[in-house]
Amino acid sequence: MLLVLDIGNTSTSVGVFSETGSAALYANFMSSERTPDEAGLLLENLLSSKGVPKGAIDGAILCCVVPSLEHVWLAAIEEYFSLSPVVVSDKLDLGIRIDMDFPGEVGADRLANAAGAAEKYGRPVVAVDLGTAINIDVVSAEGAYIGGAIAPGLQTSVKTLFSRTAKLPQVALETPPRAIGRNTVNAIQSGIVFGYTGLVDELVRRILAELGAKAPVVATGGHAEVLASQSATIGAVDRWLTLEGLRIIYGRNKTRFGRAG
C-alpha cells in the first residue's frame, strides 16, 4: 500500500492507497512543529485507527511547501516505516512537462494538483486549490504545465482582518443569505465568500480566454465546496485531488524507489 502526504502551511493531508489505486484512508490535521518521533507515532496511530497495518505500507511519497517540516516527516517515515519517501519535484516524471520560466520554483503541491487534474479530467484543465493560498494551475492541451495564478487564501485574509481590527468578531466561512449583510457577521461572510468567488471566477475567465479553448475547472482544498457553490466557472469539486496527484506521480516513478535499507 502507498502512503501519501501533502504537507501545507496550515494543514497536512494523509492518504493510503491500495495497489489498485483505491483509497483506504483519507485524513487531515493541522500542520505544526513536531519531532520525527511525534510525527511517526501520529501516522502509526492514524493507520491503526483505520485498520491499516503498518507493515502493509511499502511505498511513500510527499509534497511539502514548508521546508522546516519536510525533514521531520522524511525522518519519521524512514524510521517508522523503513521507507525512503519520494519527494515531489520538477525532476520526476509527472506525466506532464513543465513549460515555465523557472521550473524549479513551482511548488510541489501545484505540481501534484496539475498532474492529478490532467490524469483525471483530461487536457486542457484548470485546477483551483483553495487552501492557505489560492493556487490556480493550468495544463495545456499539449500536456504542458504552463503556470497560473496565486492569491492569498480565504483563511489568510480572515486572520489578517481579525488581527488588524479588534472589534470585528470571528466568523465561520459560510455562505451568507445575501450580498448586503444585515449584520457584521453576514457582512464579513459576504465580503469573503462572494468577494473571493468573484476573484476566482475572474481569474479563471481570463485564463480560459488566454487558452483559447474550453477546459474543465476543478476545485480542491478546504474551502472548495463553499466557493464552488457560488462560482460560475468551477465545474467540479475534488476534495483529495492533491493526494490523488501524489498517487499518480508515484505510480510513474515507483520503479526508482522502494524500501530503505
Residues annotated catalytic, as ranges: 109
Q: DSSP letters of the chain?
A: -EEEEEE-SSEEEEEEE-TTS-EEEEEEEE-----HHHHHHHHHHHHHHTT--GGG--EEEEEES-HHHHHHHHHHHHHHH-B--EE--TTS--SSEE-SSSGGGS-HHHHHHHHHHHHHH-SSEEEEEESSEEEEEEE-TTSEEEEEEEEE-HHHHHHHHHHH-TTSPP------S-SS-SSHHHHHHIIIIIHHHHHHHHHHHHHHHHHTS---EEEESTTHHHHHTT-SS--EE-TTHHHHHHHHHHHHHGGG--B--
Distance of alpha carbon 218 from alpha carbon 120, whole angstroms? 10
Distance of alpha carbon 141 from alpha carbon 139, whole angstroms? 7
Distance of alpha carbon 158 from alpha carbon 220, whole angstroms? 19
DSSP β-bridge partners for residue 125: 139
